[in-house]
């Protein structure tokens, strides 16, 4: 059964019933010279709002990842690569981003749930929180109150923003209002509510399976590579979309934020780095708009549509507004 979803709204927060926020006037950006003014430090960036447990967990997983270099195995590397493909392109790019946030294609309930689970395994957030944060970003990209603009600071956009309690996202009522269509999808709220249990179960399963197959060394290898190192790689690949892709790269479209197309971010995220294209046409399932813009996440969506699993795949609709020269 295919889940039909309404077309993506131009201003998603207003359409989803969230309270609208006043928007500061934005400068028109043009080509490589586009620069926005420095943004004010968000009000919730204070030690009182600092999420110490999240910070300790983040540091701890990075530290466990370092142990992986003492517990290398080819099977551990294979598990890490397989889990990366499951969690980043399938879970985050296709599932959380193109399906749940922007509704750029329609799919059966079972596939929506698989994509939601895969994204949850990336340990960036549950599906409801992830979608709510991304919709806030699109509503005010590179303007107050964008939750993660590098015009506050590079590290704020890359990492620090989610280390502080943000009432728009951590307050359950506000979060669910921003993503009420995701809450209504079968299974997604259950994944959100089970986020921490799922996150803790994965390393235990990997260590236990490796220990049963080859003892403590293999258990540590599968856990450090298949969980910690894979998480760290996936985190920073995704974080660079928020930071690097609003600072460095070229622009196909002159729009009022500082989004950029960045080839090396696109490589590690299977197409998410064509961020200027995405901000110009967020409801499109395709992020690569030129022939050389590598977008395997979109190719996979197209392949699923060819065999009838997904339908109503949205294509780029604003390419006539594209700058004449790639790399401008």
| Mean pLDDT of the 183-200 span | 97
Q: Which one has a higher pLDDT value, 201 or 165?
A: 201
**Could you please report the per-residue DSSP string of 87-127?**
IIIIIIIIIIIIIIIT--SB-BHHHHHHHHHHHHTTTS--H
Total length of the chain: 328
Q: Which one has a higher pLDDT value, 44 or 321?
A: 321
**What range does the domain containing 250 cover?**
46-321
| Per-residue pLDDT, 226 | 98
With a cut of 90, say whether residue 140 has pLDDT above it. Answer: no
| Per-residue pLDDT, 11 | 35
Q: Which one has a higher pLDDT value, 41 or 101?
A: 101
76 lies in some domain: yes
pTM of the complete model:
0.86
| Mean pLDDT of the 280-285 span | 97
Residue with tokens 């926020």: 21
| Per-residue pLDDT, 40 | 59
| Mean pLDDT of the 189-207 span | 98
Q: Provide the number of structural domains found in the chain.
A: 1
| Per-residue pLDDT, 37 | 58
| Per-residue pLDDT, 25 | 42
- CA dist 249 and 231 (Å) reads 25
- CA dist 130 and 88 (Å) reads 13
Q: What are phi and psi of 224, to 5 degrees?
A: -70, -40
18 lies in some domain: no
Tokens of 75: 């099977």
3 lies in some domain: no
29 lies in some domain: no
DSSP state of 50: B
90 lies in some domain: yes
Mean pLDDT of the chain: 88
Q: Which one has a higher pLDDT value, 270 or 11?
A: 270
37 lies in some domain: no
| Mean pLDDT of the 233-259 span | 97
Q: Which one has a higher pLDDT value, 318 or 250?
A: 250
| Mean pLDDT of the 261-266 span | 98
With a cut of 80, say whether residue 59 has pLDDT above it. Answer: yes
9 lies in some domain: no
- CA dist 294 and 274 (Å) reads 9
Using pLDDT thresholds of 50, 70 and 90, give the confidence band for residue 42. Answer: low
| Per-residue pLDDT, 141 | 87
- CA dist 36 and 278 (Å) reads 19
Q: How far apart are the first and last CA of the chain?
A: 44
223 lies in some domain: yes
């Amino acid at each position: 059964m295919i889940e039909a979803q309404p077309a993506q709204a131009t201003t998603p927060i207003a359409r989803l019933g969230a309270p609208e926020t006043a928007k500061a006037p934005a400068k028109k950006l043009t080509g490589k010279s586009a620069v926005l003014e420095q943004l004010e430090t968000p009000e919730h960036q204070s030690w009182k709002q600092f999420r110490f447990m999240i910070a300790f967990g983040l540091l701890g997983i990075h530290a466990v990842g370092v142990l992986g270099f003492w517990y290398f195995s080819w099977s551990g590397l294979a598990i890490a690569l397989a889990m990366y493909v499951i969690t980043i392109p399938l879970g985050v790019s296709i599932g959380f981003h193109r399906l749940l946030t922007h509704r750029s294609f329609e799919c059966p309930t079972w596939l929506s749930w698989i994509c939601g689970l895969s994204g949850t395994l990336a340990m960036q957030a549950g599906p409801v929180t992830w979608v709510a944060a991304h919709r806030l970003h699109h509503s005010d990209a590179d303007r107050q109150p964008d939750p993660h603009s590098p015009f506050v600071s590079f590290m704020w956009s890359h990492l620090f923003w989610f280390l502080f309690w943000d009432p728009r996202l951590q307050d359950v009522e506000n979060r669910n209002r921003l993503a009420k269509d995701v809450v209504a999808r079968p299974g997604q709220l259950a994944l959100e509510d089970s986020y921490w249990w799922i996150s803790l179960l994965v390393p235990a399963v990997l260590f236990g399976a490796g220990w049963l197959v080859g003892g403590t060394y293999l258990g540590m290898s599968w856990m450090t590579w298949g969980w910690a190192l894979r998480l760290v790689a996936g985190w920073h690949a995704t974080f660079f979309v928020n930071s690097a892709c609003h600072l460095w790269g070229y622009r196909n479209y002159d729009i009022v934020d500082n989004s950029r197309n960045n080839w090396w971010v696109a490589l590690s995220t299977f197409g998410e780095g064509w961020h200027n294209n995405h901000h110009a046409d967020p409801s499109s399932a395709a992020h690569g708009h030129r022939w050389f813009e590598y977008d395997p996440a979109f190719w996979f969506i197209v392949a699923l549509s060819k065999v009838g699993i997904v339908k109503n795949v949205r294509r780029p609709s604003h390419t006539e507004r594209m700058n004449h020269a790639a790399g401008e």
